[in-house]
Structure formats: structure tokens, C-alpha cells
Amino acid sequence: MKESASVAGRDMDLIDTHCHLEAQAFAGDLPAVAAHAAAQGVTAMLAVGVSPVDFPAQRDAMAVARSEGLRVAAAYGSHPWWVDRVSPDEAVDALDRVHAANGAKLVAVGEIGLDFAGTADDADRQNALFVAQLEWAGHRGLPVILHEHKSADRLLYWLRRRQHAGGVVHGFTGSLQQARQFIDQGLYLGVGGAITHPGAHRMHRMMRELPLDALVLETDAPNQPGHAHRGERNLPGYLPENLEALARLRDMEEGALLERINRNVHRLFGDL
Ligand SMILES: [Zn+2]
């Protein structure tokens, strides 16, 4: 991996803005996973929550990653896939609790959002769970980390109607036009492993055309592995591959690109 070594050699921050350290896939070897990330030049990560019952495990996993030399910041939230198990009140109570316990260390609310890939019979409950957390974040000036799957227009609908402090659309699957609408709302777009797939022409075109000032890098590990790791779990240490793919698409040198991306991360999340 000479690209990641060159990035590491620059002493530049390489920040994974979206991973799930407490995931079952990392239960057996999280210290090795974190050490691998550090060896690949990753310096910091944003650990993103999915459900209140998993927040304690997330905190434990973050401590493990820190002991391998990584800076790890936290986002907490209730993901739309947990809509059957977490009510809007429970989601907000859980945010109150982690906010009181973590204070300034809670840098964002997420992963929250809408997923309309399946039958839409839980759409009302998804909207309620999402909006309760969007409002909670907006009132505290915290950015949100959005899960978007066939739900871009509905997310935009809420963003236009609720006070919010921006955030990032992670794992974006929508159109270039929708991406621009998110950017107009003050949102950034997370660039993950999908960009490394050779056949992802629409994604490649989008990543060439969107303003650089709107992009951040992410892995979503252990989910959404890139092309070189199809069928495997994804790792935070694969983040340099996403940087490399984006640099190639933008015809930019990796260091120069990363400098721009890091400015975005700091605008969005402060100092991680
Ligand atoms: Zn995620």
C-alpha cells in the first residue's frame, strides 16, 4: 500500500468519518483491526452508533481503538433499521443520557435517517424516529449523520422544514441532482467503498462533478467493503483505498486532496 504510506509520510490526518467499532464482526479481534488502521495511516475515526442498547459496547470499543493510538470521537443515534425496537422517546432519552455523560465529546447525532428499500409500511414510524432525533440535534447545534436509502427526497423534505446544523449524508445512493440539494442544505457527502467499484459509473461521475468542499471520507466498516474486498468484512484500515480512488477520479495528488478533505471534516465536526 504505497499510497497510504505516502499519506502517512506526510504526517497528515487521515480520518474515517463513519465506522461501527462495536459491530459483531469486530468482536473477536478489534485490537488488531484498530492496529491495522493505524498501520495504514488512519489517525482518527468517528465511531457511529446505531441503537441505545449498543452504546455501552460502542464506548468500550472506542477505548480499545484509542489504546492502539487512534483518536476516536463519538456519534450516537438510533438507526432506522431499529425502528421496531426503539421509540422516538427512547431514542431522545438515550441521546439526553449520552450527552450528559459525554458533553462536548458527542460530536454528532447518528446514525439516523430513513430507509425505504423494503416495504414502506413502517414509513410513519421511521419518520417519527428520524425527526425526533433531527430536532434534538438541531436544538443543540450538533451535525447529523444520515442514513439514506431510497429516501433522499424525504430526508430533504425534513431538512428544509426543521432547524438543523448540517451534517453528512453517508452511503449516498441518490442522484447528482439530489446530492446538490443536500449540499444546498449544508450537508456533506460521505465517500465510501462504493467509489472503488469499476462499474459504478454513475457514482464516479457524481464524485467527479460534486464540489470538493462537500466531500468527506468514510468506510462504514464492517459494512460496504470496496472492490478489492468484496465478500469480506470492511475495515477502517481500507480507508486509503477510498482516498486513492477519489484522487484518481479528481485527477489530484492524494496529499493535496486530503488537505481539502480534512478542512471539510474540521468544518463539520471540529477537532476530532
Ligand atoms: Zn453506518
CATH number of the domain located at residue range(s) 14-269 in this protein = 3.20.20.140
Q: Which ranges in 185-271 belong to alpha helices (H)?
A: 201-209, 239-250, 254-269
The C-alpha atoms of residue 242 and residue 221 are separated, in whole angstroms, by: 12
Distance 196 CA to ligand 1 centre (A): 18
**Per-chain residues with Cβ under 5 A from ion ligand 1:** 111, 220
For residue 179, the model assigns a pLDDT of 97
Between the CA of 40 and the centroid of ligand 1 the distance, in Å, is: 21
Per-residue pLDDT of the chain (272 residues; tens, 9 = 90+): 444 444 544 579 999 999 999 999 999 999 999 999 999 999 999 999 999 999 999 999 999 999 999 999 999 999 999 999 999 999 999 999 999 887 667 899 999 999 998 877 899 999 999 999 999 999 999 999 999 999 999 999 999 999 999 999 998 878 999 999 999 999 999 999 999 999 999 999 999 999 999 999 999 999 999 999 999 999 999 999 999 999 999 999 999 999 999 999 999 999 88
Cα of 191 to ligand 1 centre, how many Å?
12
Could you tell me the distance, in angstroms and rounded to a whole number, from the CA of residue 231 to the centre of ligand 1? 17
The Å distance, Cα 46 to ligand 1 centre, comes to 11
Residue-level pLDDT at 5: 42
45: Cβ contacts below 8 Å, ≥ 6 apart: 15, 16, 17, 19, 21, 37, 65, 70, 71, 72, 73, 236, 272
Return the number of other C-beta atoms located less than 10 Å from residue 157's C-beta: 13
- Neighbouring C-alpha atoms within 13 Å toward the C-beta of 92: 16
CA of 211 relative to ligand 1 center, distance in Å: 23
Phi-psi region of 224 (alpha: psi -120 to 50; beta: other; left: phi over 0): left
CA of 111 to the centre of ligand 1 (A): 6
Domain ranges of the chain: 14-269
pLDDT in tens, 54-72: 999 999 999 999 999 999 9
Q: For residue 256, how far is its CA from the centre of ligand 1 (angstroms)?
A: 27
Calculate how far, in angstroms, residue 263's C-alpha sits from the geometric centre of ligand 1: 22
What is the whole-number distance in angstroms between the Cα of residue 67 and the centre of ligand 1?
23
CA of 26 to the centre of ligand 1 (A): 14
Q: In what order do the strands lie in the sheet with 187-191?
A: 15-19, 44-48, 71-76, 106-115, 144-149, 167-170, 187-191, 215-217
Within the chain, strands assigned E span: 15-19, 44-48, 71-76, 106-115, 144-149, 167-170, 187-191, 215-217
Q: Give pLDDT, residue 7.
A: 52
Single pTM value for the model: 0.94
| Per-residue pLDDT tens digits for 215-258 | 999 999 999 999 999 999 999 999 999 999 999 999 999 999 99
- Residue 46 makes CB contacts below 8 A (sequence gap 6+) with 15, 16, 17, 18, 19, 72, 73, 74, 75, 107, 108, 145, 269, 272
108: closest CA among 230, 269, 255? Answer: 269
CA of 239 to the centre of ligand 1 (A): 14
CA of 7 to the centre of ligand 1 (A): 25
